[in-house]
Chains A and B, each alone.
Chain A
Amino acid sequence: MKNIIQMVVVLTVLSGSSAGILAGIRVVTMEKIEYQQLKFQKEPAVRKIMEGSGMDPMAGRFKIDYQGRKLTIFPGEIDGEPMAAFETFGKGYSGDVGVMVGLSLSSGRIIGMGVTTHSETPGIGSKVKDSPTFVDQFKGEPVESGFKVRNDGGGVDAISGATITSRAVCVAVDEAGKVYGELKEQLLPTKIAAKDGSHE
Chain B
Amino acid sequence: MSKSIAREFAKGLWSEIPPFRLVLGLCPVLAVTMSVENGIGMGLATTFVLVGSNFLVSLLRNVIPPKIRIACFIIIIATFVTMVEFIMQAYVYPLYLKLGIFIPLIVVNCVVLGRAEAFACKNPILPSLADGLGMGLGFTLSLSLIGAFREVLGNGTFLGLQVFGDAFVPFGVMVKAPGAFVTLGLLLAFMNLVPVKK
Chain A residues with CB under 8 Å of chain B are 3, 6-7, 10-11, 14-15, 18, 21-22, 25-26, 29, 32-33, 36-37, 39-40, 94, 119, 121-122
Contact = CB atoms under 8 A, between A and B. Distances in A.
B76 A18 contact: yes
B190 interface: no
Contacts of B82: 22
Contacts of B97: 40
B194 interface: no
B193 interface: no
Contacts of B93: 33, 36-37, 39-40
Interface residues on B, range: 20 to 34
Interface string B66-98: 011001100110110011001101110110010
Contact of B86 (A18, A33, A40, A121): A33
B19 to A, nearest CB: 21
A13 B118 CA distance: 24
B75 A29 contact: no
B60 to A, nearest CB: 8
Nearest to A120: B101
Determine the main DSSP class of B at the interface with A. Answer: helix
List 9 tightest A-B contacts by C-beta distance, closest first: A32-B90, A36-B93, A29-B90, A18-B79, A33-B89, A29-B86, A7-B65, A7-B68, A33-B90
Interface in B8-60: none
Contacts of B101: 94, 119, 121-122
A37 B76 CA distance: 28
Contacts of B83: 21-22, 25
B63 interface: yes
Contacts of B64: 10
Contact of A29 (B65, B67, B87, B100): B87
Contacts of B91: 32
A125 B134 CA distance: 36
Given A29-B86, A33-B86, A36-B89, A7 B67 contact: yes
Contacts of A10: 63-65, 68, 72
